[in-house]
Chains A and B, each alone.
Chain A
Amino acid sequence: MWFLSEEQKQLQDVCREFAKNEIAPHAEKHDTDETFNIDAFKKMGELGILGVTADPEYGGADMGCLAATIAMEEFGKACPGLTLSYLAHSILCVNNIQNNASKEQKQKYLPKLVTGEHIGCMGMSEPEYGSDAVGIQTRAVNKGDHYIVNGTKMWITNAQYSDIAYVYTRTGDERKNLSTFIIEKGMPGYSTGNPIHKMGMRSSPTGELIFDNAKVPLENRIGEEGDSIYHMMKNLELERITIAGISLGIAQACVDASIKYAGERKQFGKNLAHYQMIQKMIAEMATETEMLRRFLYTVAYEYDQGKIGAVPAAMVKLQIPKMVTRIALDAIQLHGGYGYSREFPVERLMRDNKLNEIGAGTNEVMIMIIAKNLLDEALKG
């Protein structure tokens, strides 16, 4: 992309190389076994990418949304599951602490998160509150020098592996009275539930966070009581742009695999590449991928310039995962029986991508956000 800085191009090269050597060779195995590639995750710490948006004084890379998106695409080509865990750590946990925590809190938590010594997660969704995230019911009751937290968080990426959880709670009956806490592994009354078995993203652990009269010190509260709604929404925009980067990586991996296969597989005496039907599939999936890349990178670039709000973030989150499911299904189809088997990566990529149409806000929620903004005036009539 023409507008990438030298630093961003360098990051792209480094991430691509890392993905090729450290992530791709193990992706299939971690998917089959439903295990987390913790070695590669820790090595991301050495690479300096775990705190991609964090300040240098805490060991961060001090880069932005576009840089994070580049990393998501490159890692996503190799293993979307591990990349999702990387996103939960670097964007949902680290970036939230970077942007919203006090200096003391940052000093306490960021250095270990940035090196990978600690693993982070974020807790928002609950069993009864998914799309309706502002309605969450996990309660934090102020007891002076500490809070007592009760409730359950659901679909939490990295839950069982996390040392640090960035958790949204309700501190009042008014709908928007939400407060955030940093909750550490081992705090009394806090535990993680059983792993959740999923269709895809199997190499990314998903679980519950359970609070049973959990005692959380006052100093672990982020900002003021009841003021979390704004920064919760703000971080969701970054999450939506960067998760679309994972889908973009999946699309590119599908294009690459399909081109390779079309050049190798022979039927009726010719490579598949000679058939117009196959040419059409590849030309279209490559065109769509290129279009999506230009869309996403432009939005990420503008996000870093402070130019965009909720709508473009929702638009990339809606359009990219949705089109990539189609692309990945076509890639399986092009591979035929082999595409359906685990010998080739395309069936895994498709299963992984489906999550991106659901997690970080479903397609339907993106449509609501876009429509509400566009129709703001009209809806008053």
Chain B
Amino acid sequence: MNEIQTELKSQLERFRKEKIEPTVEHDDKNEHFKMELFQELGQLGFCGMTLPEDHGGAGLTYQDLCVALGEIAKSSVSYAATISVSTMVQAIINEFGNDEQKKKYLPSLTSGEEIGAFCLSESSSGSDAASLKMTAKKVDGGYSLNGSKMWITSGGIAKTYIVMARTGEEGHKGISAFIVRDGMDGFSYGKKESKMGWKVSPTRELIFENCIVPEENLLKEEGYGFKIAMAALDRGRITIGSIAVGLCERAIDESISYSLERKQFKKEIFDFQGLQFMMADMATETEASRLLVEQAAKYYDEGKPNQKLASMAKMKSTDTAMKVSTDAVQILGGVGYTSEYPVERLMRDAKVLQILEGTNQIQRVVIARSLKKEYS
């Protein structure tokens, strides 16, 4: 870690312990997102880290962002995920938007005053994203959006939504990306999902009924939407990986502290080889995942994004997060199963990491596809 990263990490460690940790269990139970907390992270410069400074960003790298997200995830996967998605939205606007769009939408996102959301999935198109059904029909002065979006992270609390809708033919070539703002006529929020984990981060359905979006809100040009979405996901996979690694590190931290304190049969349970082996495996798998995520981020920062490596990093780190958090519950035993300790929450939060940003099954498809390409 370089100096900036060490500084970021220690600043965020203080912040999460002071501001997030004390109420995190309570907020999880009540499914309560604290906008003021997000905004505070924004004031400290953590909500637009990778954006250029002329748009209010911090001009940092994805490697830096990964360090920050991992640290926040130790206390709350939900806040880390909110930042990860909002940063992704900013990156889309910065890369594919025109000057007016950047000027109009970026400052409030990079400052953390507002949240951004990315809207691709629908009830019948998840892994098969290119089959999405939502339509954007050309009308006078803009487009009329009809349909609904599912599983939208920050749905309802975000102000700026990047929405993928069909402007043309079937398949990926007929998809376009639009910037939609909270409050637009014909845009409303559907039901809030009741989930196993990620309870602080709201997941919502979005409903569009003849929602008229001005032409200037189209990103790039018609038919460019799928490319935008895929480019965004390549980045998203790396940041999700860093969240998974932070989650693992917290689970290991809890496991070791507890097993050094808890005594059964008159000795610290850490001294039982059965637990030592579990913890050695947890630490090794986590370290391997961290290195993979760092490597993928490094390639990205160097301008040579490696899709295969990003998929590998996402798959490996999130599978590890599931395993490590499950083992942490096991090591803490009965208390690990209760909400008095964070490990059961980490385990619940881990599961969705294997599902979103492309399920780990889809990552395997991506990896296999590039393996085939390498050999043909």
The chain A residues found within 8 Å of chain B, CB to CB, are 32, 125, 128-132, 135, 154-155, 196-200, 266-269, 277, 325, 329, 332-333, 336-337, 339-343, 347, 350-351, 354-355, 357-359, 362-364, 367-368
Check B339 against A197 for contact (C-beta < 8 Å).
yes
Complex interface: chain A residues within 8 A of B339 (CB): 197-199
Q: How far is the CA of A347 from the CA of B197 in the complex (A)?
A: 10
Q: How far is the CA of A339 from the CA of B126 in the complex (A)?
A: 13
Complex interface: chain A residues within 8 A of B347 (CB): 199, 354
Complex interface: chain A residues within 8 A of B263 (CB): 128
**Chain A residue at smallest Cβ distance from B269:** A131
Check A340 against B322 for contact (C-beta < 8 Å).
no
The 8 A CB mask of B344-365 against A (1 = contact, 0 = none) is 1001100110111001110010
Complex interface: chain B residues within 8 A of A32 (CB): 194
For B, the interface residue count at a CB cutoff of 8 angstroms equals 45
Check A333 against B360 for contact (C-beta < 8 Å).
yes
**Chain A residue at smallest Cβ distance from B339:** A197
Complex interface: chain A residues within 8 A of B334 (CB): 125, 130, 154-155, 358-359
Complex interface: chain B residues within 8 A of A135 (CB): 264-265
Q: How far is the CA of A351 from the CA of B197 in the complex (A)?
A: 11
Check A354 against B351 for contact (C-beta < 8 Å).
no
Known contacts A333-B355, A336-B126, A337-B151; A358 and B265 CB within 8 A of each other: no
Known contacts A336-B355, A357-B330, A364-B275; A199 and B265 CB within 8 A of each other: no
Q: How far is the CA of A350 from the CA of B350 in the complex (A)?
A: 13
Q: How far is the CA of A339 from the CA of B125 in the complex (A)?
A: 15
Q: How far is the CA of A327 from the CA of B125 in the complex (A)?
A: 25
B164 to chain A, nearest CB (A): 16
Q: Within the complex, which residue of B29, B193, B337, B351 is in contact with A358, where a contact is CB–CB below 8 Å?
A: B337
A29 to chain B, nearest CB (A): 12
Known contacts A277-B364, A358-B333; A268 and B351 CB within 8 A of each other: no
Q: Does B43 contact A (CB under 8 A)?
A: no
Known contacts A155-B334, A199-B347, A358-B334; A132 and B265 CB within 8 A of each other: yes
Known contacts A357-B330, A362-B330; A337 and B337 CB within 8 A of each other: no
Check B351 against A329 for contact (C-beta < 8 Å).
yes
Known contacts A341-B194, A341-B195, A354-B329; A199 and B275 CB within 8 A of each other: no
Q: Does B196 contact A (CB under 8 A)?
A: yes
Known contacts A329-B322, A329-B351, A358-B337; A363 and B121 CB within 8 A of each other: no
Complex interface: chain A residues within 8 A of B351 (CB): 329, 332, 340, 347, 350
Complex interface: chain A residues within 8 A of B193 (CB): 341-342
**Chain A residue at smallest Cβ distance from B193:** A341
Q: How far is the CA of A357 from the CA of B336 in the complex (A)?
A: 12
**Chain A residue at smallest Cβ distance from B121:** A337
Q: How far is the CA of A351 from the CA of B195 in the complex (A)?
A: 12
Q: Within the complex, which residue of B264, B274, B329, B330 is in contact with A199, where a contact is CB–CB below 8 Å?
A: B329
A371 to chain B, nearest CB (A): 9
Check B126 against A199 for contact (C-beta < 8 Å).
no
Known contacts A199-B337, A336-B359; A347 and B330 CB within 8 A of each other: no
A129 to chain B, nearest CB (A): 8
Q: Within the complex, which residue of B195, B333, B352 is in contact with A362, where a contact is CB–CB below 8 Å?
A: B333
Q: How far is the CA of A61 from the CA of B137 in the complex (A)?
A: 68
Q: How far is the CA of A130 from the CA of B337 in the complex (A)?
A: 13
Q: Within the complex, which residue of A196, A340, A355, A357 is in contact with B197, where a contact is CB–CB below 8 Å?
A: A340
